[in-house]
Amino acid sequence: MPSGLNITTDWERLDQGTPEERVCFGAIGIQCNDIWLTEGLDTFANVIRKAPYVSGYHLAEWVAWNWWRLRWEPQSNCPGWGFAHRLSAIGHGYAWPDITIFSDEQRTALIPKPTSAHSEHAYRYIANIPAFVPSTDFEAAIDRFIERIRDKLRSDGITNTNLDAVWSDVTDERNDPAMAQRRKFEALLGQEPDQTDEETLNALLSDIDSLGEAATTELAAGHDGEGNILTYASLNAIAARNGFDYSPQDAIHLSPDLGLSSSADVPAWQLGAKAARAVRNQANLGCAPIPNKVLAELAGIAASVLDASADAPSFAYALDRSNGSSRIVFRSKWKTGRRFELARILGDRLISAPGDHLFP
């Protein structure tokens, strides 16, 4: 069995339900390395088991239907988000685990929640340790599981199922770069395939050339749930009105050999800590607090900018504009807050990919 994330199947007999449900019934477990996210107490037998008895067909169908949102959409408080991200929403009469799945693009989180001690369910989930895996590993685990379900169906003479149709569409879309990009941004906006306002989606896609894909992805993921998305034009207008000039070419630059590129194997905070140590070492700063003047020089701005104030936008960012100039915008009204924002913007630029022009 591959290490990392796996969805296991141990087939059992079921005498009722649809043919697809019966054929794919069994103990269906979700394992991440040595941790079973589906572990629970079977109250009938009074034993701890690694997996509940459910129909793998319903799980595969739900995952296929929500694949784009599971793969790309981050955690959100928007109404209805849980229906596409919590296994407990699958239904069909089974007690599914309360596992929430979401992604930050590079890493996918699977967060199990134990069943309440007062629950009357015969199978009470006890797992409460979250799992974080590279999103490519999540993809591979889903691919293996769905193909195993489809193989089981075919071996029992069941073909042309709804799962086959949905998964065929998802596979075709994944293999089409342009369509895959559209589906990704629909998911980031919290929308089902082909349900996004076409004008909003096209505006985002057209901004990739101006802002870079990573930054445009962040803008999409930061939507307010009501279709309001910041664009290059609006960000540029805010920067012109409330921002300050700065010179990224005068900022500190680190060696590309330091290995500061974003990676699914390294949590963001560890990458930030490594970059901060590298900046302090290169600038001979030691461990002492950094004065405003030094921090401003590291970032390529005038120290007076940290004392200035302007109407605050919804978030701080730096923007490299099409005319070759750069502007920086602060959200905080307080100097301490602007120092923190400047440090984060500096860090974002140090680890950014070539072609990025927005640093939120």
| Residue 116 host element (H or E) | none
Neighbours of 66 (CB within 10 A): 21
C-alpha separations of 119 from 36, 40, 41 in Å = 20, 13, 12
Of 33-42, 83-92, 222-231, minimum mean pLDDT range = 222-231
Q: Which of 29-38, 256-265, 278-287 has the lowest mean pLDDT?
A: 256-265
pLDDT band at 8 (very low <50, low <70, confident <90, very high): very high
- The pLDDT of residue 225 is above 70: no
- Taking 70 as the threshold, does the pLDDT of residue 28 lie above it? yes
Question: Average pLDDT in the 132-158 region?
Answer: 96
Nearest Cα residue to 146 out of 2, 12, 9, 26: 9
Residue 1 has pLDDT above 60, yes or no: no
Closest by CA position to 100, among listed 88, 115, 117: 88
Nearest to 28 by CA among 103, 158, 123: 123
| Cβ atoms of residues 352 and 308 within 8 Å | no
Assign 147 a pLDDT band (cuts: 50, 70, 90): very high
Backbone angles phi, psi at 20, to 5 degrees: -65, -40
At 61, the pLDDT band (50, 70, 90 cuts) reads very high
pLDDT level of residue 3 (50, 70, 90 thresholds): low
**Predicted TM-score of the model (pTM):** 0.87
Q: Tell me what pLDDT residue 38 has.
A: 96
Q: Which of 107, 155, 156 is nearest to 134 (CA)?
A: 107
Strands 25-32 and 53-55: antiparallel
Q: pLDDT of 151-162, one tens digit each?
A: 999 999 999 999
Q: Which helix (H) or strand (E) holds 327?
A: strand 326-329
| Average of per-residue pLDDT across 189-207 | 88
In terms of Cα–Cα distance, which of 352, 115, 127, 327 is closest to 241?
Answer: 327
Reported confidence tier of residue 174, pLDDT bands at 50, 70, 90: very high
Tell me the average pLDDT of the chain: 89
- Count the Cβ atoms, other than its own, within 10 Å of residue 61: 22
Average pLDDT over residues 59-86: 94
Long-range contacts of 73-78 (CB under 8 A, 24+ apart): 73/102, 73/103, 73/187, 73/188, 73/190, 73/221, 74/102, 74/103, 74/104, 74/188, 74/221, 75/100, 75/102, 75/109, 76/190, 76/225, 78/190, 78/225
Q: Which residues contact 223 (CB under 8 A, 6 or more apart)?
A: 188, 189, 190, 229
Residues 228, 189: Cα–Cα separation, whole Å: 10
- pLDDT at residue 2, as a whole number: 53
pLDDT tens string 110-121: 999 999 877 777
Whole-Å CA distances, 6 to 2, 137, 353: 7, 9, 31
* Predicted pLDDT at 261: 72
Average confidence (pLDDT) over 305-326 = 82
